[in-house]
């Protein structure tokens, strides 16, 4: 619990002090040489995850909204989401004016591609898989389905930063990926989010969505969208840069705990832990232990992890 939050220390404090002493708290203008923390974090994040663009925002929900609207989702559209997710996922769809459509999950706790296919209608515009509790969805099947049906694919990676599917980072399969920096997540700034995409057009529109003055700042004239103010501050950017450097070490320790749980959980069924072999998971653990509650050895191990 709170993997990045439990690591917050002197490096984050030094990063915050650097920003405060510069007096550059706002990302787009300031004093002296001006701010660069958020922009530097975006460059580092995009490089780390193998994406063309990254946009730091104030929440994972904001990243989802920017990704959906940036990809063209809007009023009258339907977006297929898993029935098992946090309410922020369908809320983001509703914020665009579209309608969330619930689909079943499979044993991985993520979208069941067969049920997604059955729920596609003439109004379906997008598929929104959620890599719930670190368990990657079947991105091969979902990517093929989205491509064959001409649908937008936006990944909710808020609970799975750093995980991969068949060797490829989550968040980079579809049109966009949304990450969270909220305190419960793998890395954290207390609150925050990141959008990644390889699409220039989606990125450009997402900038307008996240900043009501976005096109003006870039000298592009009037906004194409009546944007909100989802901007991240330089304080967020500074802490995020430190936390991003911690990510690989955090994942290594979490995966080690995951392996120990799978090995010592007693009469549960550890073959279900981590779901499918080609899914690189770091958080989820699912056991079929019937009505008897969590196995005694699993309870003991949980206290030790």
Answer whether residue 278 shows pLDDT above 50: no
- Residue 299 has a pLDDT of 55
Which of 197, 212, 243 is a domain's end point? 243
Q: How far apart are the first and last CA of the chain?
A: 10
Domain count across the chain: 2
Do 281 and 163 touch, CB atoms closer than 8 A? yes
Q: Using one digit for the tens of pLDDT, what is the confidence trace for 57-89? A: 999 999 999 999 999 999 999 999 999 999 999
Which of 195, 217, 243 is a domain's end point? 243
Provide the pLDDT confidence category of residue 110 given band limits of 50, 70 and 90. very high
Do 73 and 96 touch, CB atoms closer than 8 A? yes
In 3D space, the residue among 169, 174, 188, 192 whose CA is nearest the CA of residue 49 turns out to be 169
Q: Using one digit for the tens of pLDDT, what is the confidence trace for 153-204? A: 999 999 999 999 999 999 999 999 999 999 999 999 999 999 999 999 999 9
Q: Using one digit for the tens of pLDDT, what is the confidence trace for 20-49? A: 999 999 999 998 887 899 999 999 999 999
The residues facing 164 across adjacent strands are 169, 280
- Residue 276 has a pLDDT of 41
Do 131 and 110 touch, CB atoms closer than 8 A? yes
Residues 275 and 222 in one domain: no
- Three-class SS of residue 37? helix
CATH number at residue 40: 3.40.640.10
Residues 237 and 274 in one domain: no
Q: How far is CA 225 from CA 95, 177, 178, 210, 212, in A?
A: 14, 20, 20, 10, 8
Residues 251 and 114 in one domain: no
In 3D space, the residue among 298, 293, 287 whose CA is nearest the CA of residue 261 turns out to be 298
- Residue 282 has a pLDDT of 54
Residues 187 and 261 in one domain: no
Of residues 270 and 283, more confidence is placed in 283
Quote the pTM value.
0.88
Q: How far is CA 169 from CA 43, 109, 160, 200, 269, in A?
A: 16, 19, 10, 19, 27
Q: For residue 91, give the H/E element and its range.
A: helix 88-95
Answer whether residue 277 shows pLDDT above 60: no
Which of 198, 227, 243 is a domain's end point? 243
The residues near 269 (Cβ < 8 Å, ≥ 6 apart) are: 287, 288, 289
Whole-angstrom Cα distance, residue 133 to residue 159? 5
- Residue 269 has a pLDDT of 47
Q: Which domain holds residue 17?
A: 5-243
Residues 70 and 140 in one domain: yes
- Three-class SS of residue 164? strand
Composition of the chain by helix, strand, coil, percent to 5:
40, 15, 45
Q: What single-letter DSSP state applies at residue 87? A: T
- Residue 303 has a pLDDT of 57
Residues 168 and 225 in one domain: yes
Question: Helices 234-264 & 10-22, crossing angle to 10 degrees?
Answer: 170
Residues 209 and 261 in one domain: no
Residues 85 and 126 in one domain: yes
Residues 262 and 187 in one domain: no
Residues 23 and 135 in one domain: yes
Residues 121 and 70 in one domain: yes
The whole-chain average pLDDT of the chain stands at 89
Residues 80 and 209 in one domain: yes
């Amino acid at each position: 619990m709170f993997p990045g939050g439990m690591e917050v220390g002197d490096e984050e404090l030094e990063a915050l002090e650097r920003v405060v002493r510069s007096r550059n708290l706002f990302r787009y203008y300031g004093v002296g040489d001006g701010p660069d923390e958020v922009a530097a974090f975006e460059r580092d994040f995009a490089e780390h995850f193998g994406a063309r663009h990254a946009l730091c925002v104030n929440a994972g929900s904001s990243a989802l909204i920017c990704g959906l609207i940036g990809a063209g989702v809007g009023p009258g559209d339907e977006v297929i989401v898993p029935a098992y997710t946090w309410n922020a996922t369908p809320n983001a769809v509703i914020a665009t004016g579209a309608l969330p459509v619930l689909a079943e999950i499979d044993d991985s706790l993520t979208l069941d591609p067969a049920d997604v296919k059955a729920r596609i209608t003439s109004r379906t515009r997008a598929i929104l898989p959620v890599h719930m509790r670190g368990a990657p969805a079947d991105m091969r099947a979902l990517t093929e389905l989205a491509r064959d049906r001409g649908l937008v694919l936006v990944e909710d990676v808020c609970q799975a930063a750093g995980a991969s599917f068949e060797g490829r980072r989550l968040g980079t399969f579809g049109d966009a990926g949304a990450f969270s920096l909220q305190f419960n997540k793998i890395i954290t700034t207390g609150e925050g989010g990141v959008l990644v995409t390889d699409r220039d057009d989606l990125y450009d529109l997402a900038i307008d969505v996240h900043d009501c003055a976005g096109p003006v700042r870039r000298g592009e004239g009037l906004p194409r969208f009546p944007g909100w103010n989802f901007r991240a501050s330089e304080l967020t950017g500074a802490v995020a840069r430190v936390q991003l450097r911690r990510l690989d070490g955090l994942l290594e320790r979490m995966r080690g705990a995951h392996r120990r749980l799978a090995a010592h959980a007693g009469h549960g069924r550890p073959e279900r832990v981590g779901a499918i072999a080609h899914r690189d998971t770091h958080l989820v653990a699912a056991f079929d232990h019937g009505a008897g509650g969590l196995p005694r050895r699993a309870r003991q191990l949980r206290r030790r992890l």
